[in-house]
Amino acid sequence: MSILSGIIPPVLTPFHADGSLDLESLDTLVEHLVSGGVHGLFVLGSSGQVAYLTDEERDTVVQRVIAKADDRVPVVVGTADLTARRILAHARRAQAQGAAAIVVTAPLYALNNAAEIADHFRIIAAGVDIPLIAYDVPVRGPAKLGRDMLVQLGREGVIAGVKDSSGDDVAFRRLVDANRAAGSPLSISTGHEVMCDGMLLVGAEGCVPGLANVDPAGYVRLHDAAQRGDWEAARDEQDRINRLFEIAFVPQGRSGDAGGIGAFKAACAALGVIASGTMPAPIEALSGEEVAGVEAIVREVGLL
Amino acid sequence: MSILSGIIPPVLTPFHADGSLDLESLDTLVEHLVSGGVHGLFVLGSSGQVAYLTDEERDTVVQRVIAKADDRVPVVVGTADLTARRILAHARRAQAQGAAAIVVTAPLYALNNAAEIADHFRIIAAGVDIPLIAYDVPVRGPAKLGRDMLVQLGREGVIAGVKDSSGDDVAFRRLVDANRAAGSPLSISTGHEVMCDGMLLVGAEGCVPGLANVDPAGYVRLHDAAQRGDWEAARDEQDRINRLFEIAFVPQGRSGDAGGIGAFKAACAALGVIASGTMPAPIEALSGEEVAGVEAIVREVGLL
Amino acid sequence: MSILSGIIPPVLTPFHADGSLDLESLDTLVEHLVSGGVHGLFVLGSSGQVAYLTDEERDTVVQRVIAKADDRVPVVVGTADLTARRILAHARRAQAQGAAAIVVTAPLYALNNAAEIADHFRIIAAGVDIPLIAYDVPVRGPAKLGRDMLVQLGREGVIAGVKDSSGDDVAFRRLVDANRAAGSPLSISTGHEVMCDGMLLVGAEGCVPGLANVDPAGYVRLHDAAQRGDWEAARDEQDRINRLFEIAFVPQGRSGDAGGIGAFKAACAALGVIASGTMPAPIEALSGEEVAGVEAIVREVGLL
Amino acid sequence: MSILSGIIPPVLTPFHADGSLDLESLDTLVEHLVSGGVHGLFVLGSSGQVAYLTDEERDTVVQRVIAKADDRVPVVVGTADLTARRILAHARRAQAQGAAAIVVTAPLYALNNAAEIADHFRIIAAGVDIPLIAYDVPVRGPAKLGRDMLVQLGREGVIAGVKDSSGDDVAFRRLVDANRAAGSPLSISTGHEVMCDGMLLVGAEGCVPGLANVDPAGYVRLHDAAQRGDWEAARDEQDRINRLFEIAFVPQGRSGDAGGIGAFKAACAALGVIASGTMPAPIEALSGEEVAGVEAIVREVGLL
């Protein structure tokens, strides 16, 4: 089975009220996910609020999740930083801790073209011994990763997969098609919560939905239905999940890093999976009214 | 059956070498589409190069297509212009000619907010007696149409459907979900060529793919498979169609209005459906080399 | 003196409460501007809400303004439409009515590349006998006009000037420099209200500020200071004008077409220059509170 | 004199062919700048290719430049990283090394709103004892810094200045005006090479042009002319400098980080100020043909 097959939640990072990591909550969250049947864990992603963590905190999170996962599922690790040599330092620490793969974005702050971005991935791949997954998340950086570049890097063995959070379904489908035509060197997953059914139908091997922190079992059922070719059951499960996803729209007028992740944390807290919905400074946790709105939806779909 | 159900190609507008409309080719194209089994025709869309036509030419195209369709399928008509009162003039002429519905975008050149855009649609709907379909095509104008506004306009009876060419699959799915929750006042179709299978699975009623000018029967087979719940057959047909869609990427370094539409025209010309791939000034038709590249793909997928 | 020299206000279009043109107010506005010393008038621009007018209304506005201007200043006319042949129809009507020049944007709705956009201007220029001014307003259309294309079109005699509302000062300066190196075929003006001093210093020949509807004499004083090389006097006048420009930010949460133009109209109404601040549907006029805020600033800077 | 007064070049970072820092060239570059009369030095900016440096290399550069500057001019230090606590670590190291101020962007990769971004700056300011300069460079990150937020942070003493590389002249002028109205808590500089004359006229206190690495004395003459109110001399000097700036457009089809900085390095190498135009991986240095094009312009304007 390839590295991005199945449901691989981007694990939330819980915090104490004083801003320190809440590692006990991280343990219970990991247990919730693994016992929910997920196929892997992705730590230090956008949903894991990697941008707000120091290097020491990153290492602590990786170590804790790998220990708790205890070889039951693979753990892939995000490495967000500005450019290749800086990312490589994170990648090597992740490898040393037992990461199954690393997840790497295009350069940040830097303004590179396609050839330079391809070399960026090559530099990093040459410096580690674990698979590299390209993370296409243009909303957070200057560059959409091109289809031909990704397939070429797959052919070269530089990258083993693509986590697509580009929100561009035409590009996604064309990537799936080109990858197949090239002999499928890449494992392709979608990062969007609400279209896993459609994307699995058309060729995604896996999904990396932040909402799976709240309802891992639902996503696993969706994936199982897709695996057995029961696409209407997959769609019905997705439709149910999408009603739950409305929690992400309860917070209004919030930043991109505050609303959705804040709602996922609030829902996990309501379910007792983590202790609180605390957010890292300068982001504020949801208000009491927002939390109540989130809980109402969680209850409405039957999770609470 | 609702207004956007099934396969509704955006009909290409053929030209003679001197820039005048090639109405004989328009006739053969319409016959090709109707005999291919399509469920409706959309004239004066982006693929129909509406922006390049004078009002007189628009009227000629509508009249000719409606005459040729001869009540076998409904004909919906685009109305591209800057603002409501200008669009209304086009809409009334289309209605008088027998259009089954009109297709309307957000204002162009104008810079309006959501409330103003909603009123824009209300003004137009109040002035005609045929259904109005909102056309969400942010790449050509300043505004993405909001989900809540669209559903609200559906509830009010202002719009009967949405043609989504936004390329935003998350927004598409959320629109489908919200429409269903509201009692399905809207008929929703996708304007993208390569994801009809996935979008039909998740709730689209129809597809408006420019590529259906080339292969209407293929899209109809895809739609039939979806109708009978055979999603894997739908996907396989889509995969085949997607190999054909590579014609749109043969022209390199062309403008958004030159490459894809130029390739669709070149392919139709290769199939004998229209007389030539002539484009309206200032756009140049594909080069001989590009045409050869298009034809090679058309042949490769077995259409030629 | 070249076509864009000096202060050339984009003339507001006043409306009656029933949505019809208020031509008496248009007369008093034109008189206010000409007696304020402006060097030309630009009708049917963005500030003139051209997008919201029918062709008949456009013609009425042009005719009225040209009659009222009565050869005291030249009148240049906007031609907003989708593509070249449609624009040409407007341009010919404007020429027939006595326009001194026409103002033309890149194609709208269409997706053209630089070569096609250059041909777009060539097609229009070939069809009229009055000068053509290119209008660079990327916020309203898909394309920023490239420096080299503009200078090339100037060299060819296709365009006589550029009205720059791109908000890109680096591109503006580089255009000024390249135009001078080419022998200054183009007359270049800035469309921004707040930087006329700086832009005149660096090589603009004129300014087309919407705010000059409110305070034409202030802009003329600024221009006169610049003409005599008293840049600090120009800057002080600009600083005073910029305090007045804060009226554009009194309306909050409004659309791009509602706030600034709404404030200019409210200020003109407060000064008795036009009868009311009525806006064309679907835009609402400013609220009473907003009008009061506008008037307070107009009073504060001593115009009222 | 405030922290951003005058000409403050963003110092290039020279490399050896093996990718290591070329500190001897850094010394000669600093000497070239200080002896050219500049008023300060900005290290670890975008032109200094900060994104491509490890933390150790950053420290080495800061130490070397501060040592070489030897209190003749203040040295301000960039701190590019993802979020506040990560930036603070860089800021503290810079302070310990003798930085006169730190330069801080909005968060990267993170998706924050205005309130969160303001708190981002507050967190960093609270952790250091040297002034903080906000760096507005939206092309490299998700956020344009708002005028009201900047002035408010100035009033609070959180930030001492703004380096504006937004390319938005209207926003720049409105910031200058609002800052003056607030009692001028901020020192405001422009980061653009080609409009220093205009921006000094309208209220900038300084300029941070990458091109000043090549011609520091030219920018100092421009600044001196502006200081004595000779705006036409300032403009003429700027016009001359702008002919030199054409070196940035010699490389065609390069990335944003390759063309301009590559040309600045090639020009400095041609002048003997640094040993070579080497770029950090994955960026390639200019080709021989491009270098020749750069040198031709440097010669044409009389620097060589």
Write the pLDDT tens digit of every residue in C40-94: 999 999 999 999 999 999 999 999 999 999 999 999 999 999 999 999 999 999 9
pLDDT confidence band for C304 (50 / 70 / 90): very high
**Which 3-state string (H, E, C) describes C186-233?**
CEEEECCCCCHHHHHHHCCCEECCHHHHCCHHHHHHHHHHHHCCCHHH
- Number of CB atoms found within 10 A of residue A96's CB: 11
Average pLDDT over residues A236-252: 97
CB burial string B113-122: b at 16+ within 10 A, e below: bebbbbbbbb
Average pLDDT over residues D41-69: 98
pLDDT at C141 over 90: no
Q: Do A168 and B170 touch (CB under 8 A)?
A: no
Provide the H-helix boundaries in B182-245.
Answer: 196-202, 216-227, 231-245
Chains that touch B (3 or more CB pairs under 8 A): A, C
CA torsion, ordered B255, B261, B262, B268, to nearest 10 deg: 170
* Catalytic site includes residue C219: no
Nearest to D107 among A51, A110, A111 (CB): A51
Q: Would C257 be classed as within a structural domain?
A: no
Interface of B with C (CB under 8 A): 46, 50-52, 54, 80-86, 89, 105, 107-113, 115-120, 122-123, 139-142, 253-258, 281-283
Q: Which of D148, D202, D239, D247 should be substituted to probe chain C, the one whose Cβ sees the most C Cβ atoms within 10 Å?
A: D202
Angle between helices B231-245 and B288-300 (to 10 degrees): 160
Average pLDDT over residues D57-68: 98
Number of domains making up chain A: 1
Instruction: Give bridge partners of residue C283 from the DSSP assignment.
Output: none
pLDDT at B212 over 90: yes
Quote the CA–CA distance of B201 and C191 in Å, as a whole number. 50
Q: Percentages helix, strand, coil for chain D, rounded to the nearest 5?
A: 50, 10, 40
**What does the angle CA D164 – CA D167 – CA D172 come to, to the nearest 5 degrees?**
55
Q: What percent of chain A has pLDDT over 70?
A: 100
Choosing from C135, C144, C219, C265, the catalytic residue is: C135
pLDDT at B122 over 80: yes
The alpha carbon of A247 is separated from its chain's Cα centroid by a whole number of angstroms, namely 18
Angle between helices C231-245 and D169-181 (to 10 degrees): 90
Quote the CA–CA distance of D132 and D99 in Å, as a whole number. 11
Over residues A14-28, the pLDDT tens digits come to 999 999 999 999 999
Over residues B29-86, the pLDDT tens digits come to 999 999 999 999 999 999 999 999 999 999 999 999 999 999 999 999 999 999 999 9
Angle between helices B259-270 and B288-300 (to 10 degrees): 70
Closest CA of chain A from B170, distance in Å: 6
Q: Assign residue B237 the CATH number of its domain.
A: 3.20.20.70
Report the chain C residue with the minimal C-alpha distance to residue B260.
C111
pLDDT confidence band for C1 (50 / 70 / 90): low
pLDDT confidence band for B1 (50 / 70 / 90): low
Closest CA of chain A from D282, distance in Å: 5
Q: Which two tokens stand for residue C74?
A: 């030249």
Average pLDDT over residues C92-119: 97
pLDDT at B163 over 90: yes
Q: Would A194 be classed as within a structural domain?
A: yes
Q: Would C124 be classed as within a structural domain?
A: yes
Q: Would D301 be classed as within a structural domain?
A: no
pLDDT confidence band for D167 (50 / 70 / 90): confident
Over residues C214-236, the pLDDT tens digits come to 999 999 999 999 999 999 999 99
pLDDT at B211 over 80: yes
pLDDT confidence band for D82 (50 / 70 / 90): very high
| pLDDT for res A1 | 62
Q: Would D247 be classed as within a structural domain?
A: no
| B96 class by beta-carbon count within 10 Å (0-12 exposed, 13-18 middle, 19+ buried) | exposed
Q: Largest Cα–Cα distance of chain C, in whole Å? A: 52
Beta strands in B36-186, from DSSP E residues, in sequence order? 41-43, 75-78, 101-105, 132-136, 161-164
pLDDT confidence band for A167 (50 / 70 / 90): confident
| pLDDT for res C168 | 87
**What does the angle CA D39 – CA D40 – CA D45 come to, to the nearest 5 degrees?**
140
Quote the CA–CA distance of D28 and D269 in Å, as a whole number. 11
pLDDT at D1 over 70: no
Quote the CA–CA distance of D113 and A254 in Å, as a whole number. 7
Interface of A with B (CB under 8 A): 167-170, 172-174, 177, 192-195, 197-199, 201-202, 229, 231-232, 235, 238-239, 242-243
Closest CA of chain B from A36, distance in Å: 25
| Domain range enclosing A94 | 6-242
pLDDT at A143 over 90: no
pTM summary value: 0.96
| pLDDT for res C3 | 85
| pLDDT for res B58 | 98
Over residues B232-268, the pLDDT tens digits come to 999 999 999 999 999 999 999 999 999 999 999 999 9
Nearest to C202 among D173, D198, D229 (CB): D198
Q: What percent of chain C has pLDDT over 70?
A: 100
pLDDT confidence band for B4 (50 / 70 / 90): confident
Which of A50, A15, A246 lies closest to A135 in space, CA to CA? A50
pLDDT confidence band for D142 (50 / 70 / 90): confident
pLDDT confidence band for D116 (50 / 70 / 90): very high
Closest CA of chain A from B215, distance in Å: 19
Q: Would A260 be classed as within a structural domain?
A: no
| pLDDT for res D2 | 82
Nearest to D257 among A111, A256, A283 (CB): A111
pLDDT at A88 over 90: yes
Q: Would B141 be classed as within a structural domain?
A: yes
Q: What percent of chain C has pLDDT over 90?
A: 94
Average pLDDT over residues C256-283: 97
Q: In this complex, does chain B touch chain C, defined as having at least 3 beta-carbon pairs under 8 Å apart? A: yes
pLDDT confidence band for D275 (50 / 70 / 90): very high
Q: Do B231 and A177 touch (CB under 8 A)?
A: no
Average pLDDT over residues A200-221: 97
**What does the angle CA B286 – CA B290 – CA B294 come to, to the nearest 5 degrees?**
105
Nearest to D192 among C170, C202, C242 (CB): C170
Over residues A171-185, the pLDDT tens digits come to 999 999 999 999 999
Q: In this complex, does chain B touch chain D, defined as having at least 3 beta-carbon pairs under 8 Å apart? A: no
Q: Which two tokens stand for residue B145?
A: 């149409």
Q: Which two tokens stand for residue C48?
A: 């003139």
Q: Would D256 be classed as within a structural domain?
A: no
pLDDT at D143 over 80: no
Q: Which two tokens stand for residue A243?
A: 């009603």
DSSP state of A258: T
Average pLDDT over residues D266-273: 98
| pLDDT for res B15 | 98
